[in-house]
Amino acid sequence: MRAADAINIADLKALARRRLPRILFDVIESGVEDERGLARNEAAFRDFRILPRYLVDVRTRDPRVTLFGRRYAQPFGIAPTGFAGLFRRGADAMLARAAAAAGVPFILSGACVAKLEDVAAAAPGTIWYHLYAAKDPRISEDLIRRAAASGIEHLVLTVDNPVYPKRERDMRNGFSQPLKLRPSVLAEALLHPGWIIEYLRGGGLPSMETWAHYAPQGATPGEVGAFFRTQSPSVQTWHDLDWLRSLWAGRLIIKGIQHPDDARQAVAAGVDGIIVSNHGGKAFDPLPSPIETLPAVRAAVPPSTPVMLDSGVTRGTDIVIAHCLGADFVFTGRAPLYGVIADGEAGAARAIAILADEIDRALALMGCPEAAELSRAFLLPHGDDARRDPAPRVAAHREDARPTVHAARPGAKED
């Protein structure tokens, strides 16, 4: 199968698995410790049922939503994934171009292999930059300066891994940063010649070009990677957030928050938007799935503050469900990554197109022709809510009888 023939994200995942040595595919797939969070993310979406409205004119559908004053062509964008350029040379620029062509945002990871200026130039005016704040504040300050100088307007600060998480699959595989091609790894890699040929042709393993600037002069790719590890992860506090806010004049978005009090405090500190996320299950195993905590975070901050979500999206309907629960926007990490690994920019575009098509069909099939109109009224109550109100309040003849359904997950605060 080729990426162009993929009919769903699972197909692209199978293609990515075939292309990559296992040690690298597992870097994408792995969660932490027992990987319960990973399983919980996908299962959480499956708990929801969409309650459709029929006899609605859905001949034309509009998936666009407005975020930070800008109309995006789809209600989702691409989350930051570090080391994408290790999985396919040039992956960050490919993702950026595919996102720009589709009219959606792409967040460039602070742990990218590419040079941030090059990726910004590949898709001018569209990329967001994600900061892994360095232990040395002068590096963070310089990264921010470089992002602003590249025309980037949105800075995303990830806060959910102050220390390096325990990713047991990677530990067992012997994955290290920088990647060392030990004989056992090389032997397995030979079974995936596409990846290895590309890297040999390109001169071997790439360097973290954004970070090369801060490593000792003349550092090898391995030494730059090792230098990065001395700086990140780093512990960040509310005090550091104030400092960052004072440095960055553009939109400041905080990623990884799940507690409503943290969300409130972030807004009070001048943050412009929040991405509710558990890092795709890669940070801390007992974390809730963001779909469980989204309603409480949404309720905690003013309606004018965008609340976004990522983690666990494999279908367009997952994106629809998140919007129904109050997300202003949704990001997806692995899905476009599978696409770009499978077939470069065309593969990333294919991943976006698959999700967009599933959203379009969902909007028609649920009787909500505009993504901007998605709301809880389209969700069947479940869990505690279903017990309180077992029958959705649907009456066939009254226009005002749209079900007023409250589908917050058990334990989540209601708005």
Ligand X SMILES: Cc1cc2nc3c(=O)[nH]c(=O)nc-3n(C[C@H](O)[C@H](O)[C@H](O)COP(=O)(O)O)c2cc1C
Q: Tell me the residue number closest to ligand X, measured at CB.
A: 333
Phi, psi of 78 (to 5 degrees): -105, 120
Spatial CA neighbour of 413 closest among 331, 294, 315: 294
Annotated catalytic residue, options 130, 154, 279, 323:
279
Closest approach of ligand X to the CB of residue 367, in Å? 27
Nearer to ligand X, 311 or 381 (CB): 311
Report the phi/psi class of residue 103: left, alpha or beta, with left for phi > 0 and alpha for psi in -120 to 50.
left
Q: Is the Cβ–Cβ distance between 128 and 152 less than 8 Å?
A: yes
Closest approach of ligand X to the CB of residue 33, in Å? 16
Two structure tokens written together for 346: 């065309």
Nearer to ligand X, 316 or 333 (CB): 333
In sequence order, what are the beta bridge partners of 379? Answer: 50
Closest approach of ligand X to the CB of residue 223, in Å? 20
* Residue whose entry in the numeric block shows the structure tokens 């990846």: 195
Two structure tokens written together for 90: 């040039």
Q: How far apart are CA 306 and CA 275, in angstroms?
A: 8
Q: How far apart are CA 305 and CA 298, in angstroms?
A: 9
Nearer to ligand X, 150 or 232 (CB): 232
Closest approach of ligand X to the CB of residue 306, in Å? 16
Nearer to ligand X, 132 or 405 (CB): 132
Closest approach of ligand X to the CB of residue 108, in Å? 9
Q: How far apart are CA 91 and CA 341, in angstroms?
A: 8
- The secondary element (H helix, E strand) that includes residue 391 is none
Q: What is the 3-state secondary structure (H, E, C) of 85-151?
A: HHHCCCHHHHHHHHHHHHCCCEEECCCCCCCHHHHHHHCCCCEEEEECCCCCHHHHHHHHHHHHHCC
Question: How many whole angstroms from its chain centre is CA 230?
Answer: 25
Q: In sequence order, what E strands does 183-288 have?
A: 251-257, 273-276
Residue 323 neighbours by CB under 8 Å, 6+ apart: 65, 75, 330, 371, 374
**In 3-state terms, what secondary structure has residue 77?**
strand
Chain contacts with ligand X (rule: CB under 6 A): 27-28, 41, 79-82, 109-111, 130, 158, 255, 277, 279-280, 282, 310-313, 332-334
Closest approach of ligand X to the CB of residue 300, in Å? 20
Two structure tokens written together for 169: 């699959």
Phi, psi of 354 (to 5 degrees): -60, -50
Nearer to ligand X, 123 or 335 (CB): 335
Q: In sequence order, what E strands does 168-261 have?
A: 251-257
Q: Is 259 a catalytic residue?
A: no
Q: Is the Cβ–Cβ distance between 32 and 284 less than 8 Å?
A: yes
Closest approach of ligand X to the CB of residue 26, in Å? 10
Closest approach of ligand X to the CB of residue 393, in Å? 34
Active site residues: 279
